[in-house]
A and B are shown apart, each in its own frame.
Chain A
Amino acid sequence: MDFRLNEDQEALQDGVRSFCSARVPHDVLHELAAGEGFDRALWRELAEMGVFNLCLAENEGGVGLGMADAVVVFAEMGRVLVPGPLIWTHLASGFIDGAATGETVVGGLDLYSVDQAPYVIEHLDQLDVILLLRREGVFRIDPREISARAIPDPLDPLTPVHECSELPKGERVLDRDDAMQFRLEASVLAAALQFGIAEACQELAVDYAKTREQFDRPIGSFQALKHILADMFVRQEIARAAAYAAGATLDDPGVGDVLRAASSAKLNAGDAAHKNARACIQVHGGMGYTWEVPAHYYLKRAWVLENSFGSIDEHAEQMASLIS
């Protein structure tokens, strides 16, 4: 066993990190928030980098990597809050034409455990294909088939949402077993994004605590803040370990229980993302409450992800039934 990132994974991480920091710095978030919350050119660039075809076999035009690698990549995208239906498009790359290349933007609705109106769809205006993830399979519908109402004021300014009360049945594209695998992978990728949020919030807060001075010294010298920041780090590392472990377990189910690994990842990373984003605001004081400082974008995205592919409560319940 060597649970550390291998050399290839480190190189992958470095590559995606430098792309993300150059292409999606914080002022781009402000621009996207003022616009449509989505950038098709960026989407194509992500595709070129291999974000969507990462786990497709090489003979199918993919990079041929596994879930552990995808977790590393998604964590990087979480760190900078890349907007868009990343998880859906990534997981659709094997069966929806054009998803792998970024030409087809695939979104969806997770109806796996709750299939009830109101249905809240992210990024509807950008979608070419909608997938409905149900227990009995994954179904494809055309965005034009549904009549949905735009919700004027989305919680996350980078995640526009529509609401509708009825859904067509759709055309089945994956069967029951594959739907279960889809849900599993989706929850692990969501956990990776959440871990990225937790880590970015910690770094943002630590940087601020080192430079901001009150009472003639850096605020980070106060134990009250040190302990908040130390807790942020611990949560982030727990989230990292759980997300990496889930990725590795999905790649090699012989090493553990995939359901349990996925639930642990989604629960811990969800908790870390939410608490670290709140703490990041608190550490920034009045600045943290402004629109200008990006801390709020992290908190708002954390809420979106908490309500995607199983909430903390749902995964806690799943854990309880898995261990009993």
Chain B
Amino acid sequence: MDLRYSESDEKFRAELRAWLDDAVPAHGEPPPTDDWDARCVYDTGWQRKLFDAGYAGIQWPREYGGRDASLTEQLVYYEEIARASAPYVGVNFVGLLHGGPTVIAEGTDAQKAKHLQKILRGEEIWCQGFSEPVAGSDLAALQTRAVRDGDDYVVNGHKIWCSFAHVAQYGELLVRTDPDVRKHAGITWLILPMDTPGIEIRPLPTLVGEGEFSEVFFEDVRVPVENRVGDENDGWRVTNVTLRFERGTAFASEMIQLQHFLADLIALARKVTRHESHAWDDRALRLEVGHLAAELDALWAMVKLSVCRANQTGVPGLEGSAIKLYYTELYQRVAELATRVLGRAALGRSDIGDRPNKMILNKMLQSLSLTIAAGTSQIQRNIIAERILGLPKERK
């Protein structure tokens, strides 16, 4: 048990910090959330800068443009980008945090050569086509059908909730290749080029009011067999690799950003007056913030532990479900408290005076998705109960 970063980690930290100190302000303010063209330019442009500076794909293999660095450098990296309030992965989320990692773990050499470096350079945006109207929590019930025809799979079906589908060049696609076997046994994982004829994308407005996710319809979409990751009908195993990245490590840097959110909350509470005093003079509020901060510190410690374990196996462990569960619910509590501190000003979603309404209320609304996306909180609890604790499954 050792929490001390090595001398070389600290050297890495100093270099990265110096680079971020210039690069972050130079990259400017993020564009409005509903301006997707600008968002893509902003997010992929930042990714390109990271790549050129040698800070993209900290743990990705060097041959694909990664840094092939130690996991502790990865942690230092998360801490520093959050500290500098650097742009977050944004539209590169799927490619960088679970699509790319899945290709590294399970893909062919040709797939690695084709995609990994481009993802790191911000030249390929990925999306995820897993869920279907009938297959959400029960993902393995998916029905989108792929039939082998020569060197292609011909895909027909309907995906839903695909974040970034309207801006992505590639997608992680799950299809049913054998309808006659147990549902988990007939699934295949494909890399889908989003410009293939036969794909139709229809945006679905969210409760935030933006078109972050879409429905995607497939009519005779031809996907080359060489785009298959893993074997035919072995897609469920590959999916679990993807999901463990999605649930385990994908949230790590956001967690540090949550500490910043808490700091923003405190800054607001110092400004807002209630009667004669500041909101921050309210002991009840300080206690609540103190609780949240303590929980957040413990959660970050848990991430470190989990990352250290994953370093041995290459794939994050099932405790990622515990991290995801705790993080998402904690985030909602922070966002709710911040909204309370805004008081009646919270009725407007654009800034009032020096109150950061827009930031807080967008986070409050977006946080509602955290306990649903990437496996709901109920499903995470089931995974913890059944797969970690070994409790019997609910009777059918």
Question: In the bound complex, do residue A296 and residue B207 qualify as a contact, i.e. CB atoms below 8 Å apart?
Answer: yes
Please, which residues of chain A bring their CB within 8 A of the CB of B347? Answer: 120, 122, 151, 154-156, 159, 161, 303-304, 307
CB distance from B198 to the nearest CB of A (A): 24
* CB contact list, A148-169 vs B, under 8 A: 151-157, 159, 161, 163
Instruction: Look across to chain A and name the residue whose beta carbon is closest to the beta carbon of B351.
Output: A151
Please, which residues of chain A bring their CB within 8 A of the CB of B349? Answer: 151, 153-155
Question: In the bound complex, do residue A292 and residue B381 qualify as a contact, i.e. CB atoms below 8 Å apart?
Answer: no
Question: In the bound complex, do residue A286 and residue B372 qualify as a contact, i.e. CB atoms below 8 Å apart?
Answer: yes
Question: In the bound complex, do residue A214 and residue B137 qualify as a contact, i.e. CB atoms below 8 Å apart?
Answer: yes
Question: In the bound complex, do residue A290 and residue B376 qualify as a contact, i.e. CB atoms below 8 Å apart?
Answer: no
CB of A311 within 8 A of chain B? yes
Choose from A151, A285, A308 the contact partner of B376 (Cβ within 8 Å): A285
CB of A282 within 8 A of chain B? yes
Please, which residues of chain B bring their CB within 8 A of the CB of A311? Answer: 340, 343
Please, which residues of chain B bring their CB within 8 A of the CB of A161? Answer: 347-348
In the assembly, what is the distance between CA of A295 and CA of B369, in Å?
13
Interface flags for A293-321 (1: CB within 8 Å of B; 0: not) read: 00110010001100110010100000000
Question: In the bound complex, do residue B136 and residue A286 qualify as a contact, i.e. CB atoms below 8 Å apart?
Answer: yes
CB distance from B163 to the nearest CB of A (A): 11
Question: In the bound complex, do residue A217 and residue B396 qualify as a contact, i.e. CB atoms below 8 Å apart?
Answer: yes
A154-B348, A303-B347, A307-B343 known; A282 and B376 CB under 8 Å?
Answer: yes
Choose from B207, B275, B365, B369 the contact partner of A114 (Cβ within 8 Å): B275
CB distance from B167 to the nearest CB of A (A): 19
In the assembly, what is the distance between CA of A15 and CA of B192, in Å?
55
In the assembly, what is the distance between CA of A285 and CA of B376, in Å?
7
CB distance from B80 to the nearest CB of A (A): 32
Looking at A84-92, A177-185, A222-230, A255-263, the stretch in contact with chain B turns out to be A222-230
In the assembly, what is the distance between CA of A208 and CA of B227, in Å?
38
Question: In the bound complex, do residue B206 and residue A222 qualify as a contact, i.e. CB atoms below 8 Å apart?
Answer: no
Please, which residues of chain A bring their CB within 8 A of the CB of B381? Answer: 224
Please, which residues of chain A bring their CB within 8 A of the CB of B355? Answer: 118
Question: In the bound complex, do residue A282 and residue B205 qualify as a contact, i.e. CB atoms below 8 Å apart?
Answer: no
Question: In the bound complex, do residue A307 and residue B376 qualify as a contact, i.e. CB atoms below 8 Å apart?
Answer: no
Please, which residues of chain A bring their CB within 8 A of the CB of B372? Answer: 281-282, 285-286, 288-289
Question: In the bound complex, do residue B205 and residue A118 qualify as a contact, i.e. CB atoms below 8 Å apart?
Answer: no
CB of B368 within 8 A of chain A? yes
Question: In the bound complex, do residue A118 and residue B353 qualify as a contact, i.e. CB atoms below 8 Å apart?
Answer: yes
* CB contact list, B339-396 vs A, under 8 A: 339-340, 343-350, 352-353, 355, 358, 361, 365, 368-369, 371-373, 376-378, 381-382, 394, 396
Most buried by A among B205, B347, B376, B381: B347
CB distance from B60 to the nearest CB of A (A): 30
In the assembly, what is the distance between CA of A281 and CA of B369, in Å?
9
Please, which residues of chain B bring their CB within 8 A of the CB of A281? Answer: 207, 368, 372
A214-B137, A222-B378 known; A289 and B368 CB under 8 Å?
Answer: yes
A159-B347, A163-B348, A285-B376 known; A291 and B137 CB under 8 Å?
Answer: no
Instruction: Look across to chain A and name the residue whose beta carbon is closest to the beta carbon of B161.
Output: A286
The 4 closest A-B pairs by CB, nearest first: A151-B348, A296-B207, A153-B349, A291-B205
Report 29 cross-chain contacts, Cβ distance below 8 Å, ordered by A residue.
A113-B275, A114-B275, A116-B273, A120-B347, A153-B209, A153-B358, A159-B347, A161-B347, A161-B348, A163-B345, A215-B138, A215-B396, A216-B141, A222-B394, A224-B378, A225-B378, A282-B372, A282-B377, A285-B376, A286-B131, A286-B161, A286-B373, A289-B368, A290-B206, A292-B205, A295-B207, A303-B339, A307-B344, A311-B340
Taking beta carbons and an 8 Å cutoff, which residues of B are in contact with A?
A: 131, 136-138, 141, 160-161, 204-207, 209, 273-275, 284, 339-340, 343-350, 352-353, 355, 358, 361, 365, 368-369, 371-373, 376-378, 381-382, 394, 396
15 additional contacts (CB under 8 A) given A285-B376, A286-B131: A118-B353, A151-B350, A152-B350, A153-B209, A154-B348, A163-B352, A215-B138, A222-B378, A225-B378, A282-B371, A290-B207, A295-B207, A299-B368, A311-B343, A313-B340
